[in-house]
Structure 1
């Protein structure tokens, strides 16, 4: 894949991710408006139950399948049959594994409130626990369909078809939003959102609509990726007989990835219990944490995930051909391009983050939106490191090395778990989620530094001088942009007050000037990566060829 093809693929994926995340924000707005943010036990219960399958997928299935599938599929194409038999067996064992994980997880639904519930404070009462368990029974089957989506999506990615994988979540969000709209009509519309809907009032039908629509969305997401596979002539036939067909290497990578996922899951349990502890004491809980994490993940998903998804396939080819120079080049490209977007996102959050959350979550109180903004900003401090670590991890996976990422993850999880534990016990309930965000940023930085040191030694360098020069210029562009954005915001509120409308004006004016100043300084400093990111988008404008 050439650099131009890489950027075209990134643009296609980023556009799908943008639409999906935009709908995701609408989904979160509806959910927070429906159930509240602070001290809302039904909100924390649903968020906990619906987060568990995401975590199982992200930390166990997602990482496992990403680490194994693309490098294995790339190698399988060298077989005489194009790798069809090997790929059928690889998909069969992956899907069987996902089915077992899903079945076990669903049967263990009654343990969800025990494992993920508040670590301190009064805890959850019987009606809240029952509601969480009911939500969990409906939500945990999502794990299997997330796995199907990932397995089939990685087959598309390995063959250079990236669009459907990033556009499928759009369908997921549409279905989930429809379910939330039904809930608004059923249990109270926008004029009744002050009612927190206590757990004891929920009926079986209401639980089924809210949690069932969330799960149905994931099912539809998995079905969407099947369409392009059939169009390209791919036909999957279950095959067994896994011995002696070259799956041993995949098994070793899978074992180490599973160990790392288990370590990450243990850390998430500590974090979840800390978040719910703050929520049970009247502070921001799972809904606030989830909203903040969604905002944190938005720039990462738009640029980093899209770019690295395409780079991962290219790095896997280069690693298979033992082309170390090409791997180093791709790492350098990835670090510099993702840095442009990651630093801009951090700058924007520091400048107008309060305005953004006030506008997005306009139905919530000022205190609740401030809590989301503070938590998002804390997490954003680690965005650059998080994106770099995501890229570094894929470089290890390209060499089918999951052992090193596991060892690197241990101190990362320990840092996040320790700070989450301390936040729940030492901070006021209103500040627990912020403390957790700071700990996450510290943990991501620890992981990125470790990975950079190891890869530099293994690859004979990381083009460090060029990457460092780029990041210094990005910081130089970001500082004045933050100052301008904050200044505009302050002036607008002096003139217009502190209404949601004033926040919207401050967001539009301040955000626009942040972008103008950031881009302008980067051009003055001759940061070429800006043009590399912008060109595929500009080419789509009328009159551009």
Structure 2
């Protein structure tokens, strides 16, 4: 991980140097990458870690007792609950990234803030597999297997580095950092396949079809909510300040909850109970 981090920093820093040589005077390089990454991690830190901490403390005992059926049930439940908030958060970042960056990073030029937004949008869809991977890694922890965790982490980093190097060599200077963000997202999508394959050797197979259908339903609800509010935003000109952003975000989330209620997604109330207890 640290070697991968150093290479990413090196590539992003080199991109910033090349941008300056070409007369690009707004933020390109590691700083927008780091800022976008910190924003993306907010829902992951609040939601996924809280759910994993609250729901999976007894997973090690279940694994020790060879109660594999209950282990799978707990992992599936955690995956469903994290999806409830990480999927809409991911799509909100994707659709409203520039508005979010402009509101948060108001102390820099608008062009630099919008560039952070572009990087955030590129890595936004990586929030979903990032959270899934944490739950699966927790499953490996329950079986006290550190070897497979290292293998999973190695695969994720190798994929990210391969795509990052390709982006550096092939993209325009102004797009390199955006490419690094996309590399992060893609690496975790591939990584969860690897992590699940390794975990399955201990826990047995999860009900993948059921989980995919559930995640697909949540993604559809979140996508529909974002599309509706994004369309209204452009028509009502709700852009340019923090107040407008709050209206957009709250409206999107409220619409998401309303549609989820129509689809009878009962897990939403469970997520709120878990978060309120933390």
Normalised by the length of structure 2, the TM-score is 0.90
Would you say 1:328 and 2:66 are equivalent positions?
no
Give the aligned partner of residue 130 of structure 2.
386
**Pairwise mapping of residues 280-359 of structure 1 onto structure 2 (< 5 A)?**
280-281=17-18, 282=20, 283-359=27-103
Distance (Å, rounded) in 1 between the aligned partners of 2:196 and 2:274: 29
Equivalent residue in structure 2 for 1:516, among 254, 271, 277 = 254
Contact conserved, 1:293 with 1:376, CA < 8 A, in 2?
yes
C-alpha displacement at 1:537, in angstroms?
5.9
Further displaced range: 362-371 or 459-468: 459-468
Larger radius of gyration: 1
C-alpha displacement at 1:405, in angstroms?
2.0
C-alpha displacement at 1:536, in angstroms?
5.0
Give the aligned partner of residue 178 of structure 2.
434
**Pairwise mapping of residues 322-471 of structure 1 onto structure 2 (< 5 A)?**
322-471=66-215
Distance (Å, rounded) in 2 between the aligned partners of 1:451 and 1:484: 35
Structure 1 residues 400 and 432, CA, compared in 2 at 3 Å: closer, same or farther? same
Distance (Å, rounded) in 2 between the aligned partners of 1:523 and 1:539: 22
Contact conserved, 1:304 with 1:387, CA < 8 A, in 2?
yes
Contact conserved, 1:492 with 1:505, CA < 8 A, in 2?
no
**How far does the alpha carbon of each residue in 1:391-448 deviate from its partner, in whole angstroms, 9 at most, with x for none?**
1111111111111122233332111111222222322332221100111111101110
Normalised by the length of structure 1, the TM-score is 0.47
Contact conserved, 1:350 with 1:377, CA < 8 A, in 2?
yes
Structure 1 residues 537 and 438, CA, compared in 2 at 3 Å: closer, same or farther? closer
C-alpha displacement at 1:457, in angstroms?
4.6
Give the aligned partner of residue 275 of structure 1.
12
Distance (Å, rounded) in 1 between the aligned partners of 2:272 and 2:33: 32
Structure 1 residues 272 and 536, CA, compared in 2 at 3 Å: closer, same or farther? closer
Distance (Å, rounded) in 2 between the aligned partners of 1:465 and 1:532: 22
Root-mean-square deviation (Å): 2.1
Contact conserved, 2:88 with 2:223, CA < 8 A, in 1?
no
Would you say 1:483 and 2:220 are equivalent positions?
no
**How far does the alpha carbon of each residue in 1:49-95 deviate from its partner, in whole angstroms, 9 at most, with x for none?**
xxxxxxxxxxxxxxxxxxxxxxxxxxxxxxxxxxxxxxxxxxxxxxx
Distance (Å, rounded) in 2 between the aligned partners of 1:388 and 1:432: 27
Which secondary structure state, in structure 1, belongs to the residue aligned with residue 57 of structure 2?
helix
Which secondary structure state, in structure 2, belongs to the residue aligned with residue 313 of structure 1?
coil
Contact conserved, 2:159 with 2:187, CA < 8 A, in 1?
yes
Contact conserved, 1:318 with 1:324, CA < 8 A, in 2?
yes
Give the aligned partner of residue 529 of structure 1.
267
**Pairwise mapping of residues 109-120 of structure 1 onto structure 2 (< 5 A)?**
none
C-alpha displacement at 1:308, in angstroms?
1.4
Distance (Å, rounded) in 2 between the aligned partners of 1:362 and 1:415: 34
Would you say 1:507 and 2:245 are equivalent positions?
yes
Contact conserved, 1:484 with 1:513, CA < 8 A, in 2?
no
C-alpha displacement at 1:275, in angstroms?
1.0
Which secondary structure state, in structure 2, belongs to the residue aligned with residue 461 of structure 1?
coil
C-alpha displacement at 1:331, in angstroms?
0.5
Greater relative contact order (CA < 8 Å, ≥ 6 in sequence) = 2
C-alpha displacement at 1:508, in angstroms?
2.0
Displacement over 4 Å in runs of 4+: 536-540
Contact conserved, 1:315 with 1:327, CA < 8 A, in 2?
yes
Give the aligned partner of residue 229 of structure 1.
none
**How far does the alpha carbon of each residue in 1:451-499 deviate from its partner, in whole angstroms, 9 at most, with x for none?**
2233335322213233223212101201211112212321243xx7x6x
Distance (Å, rounded) in 1 between the aligned partners of 2:275 and 2:145: 35
C-alpha displacement at 1:334, in angstroms?
0.9
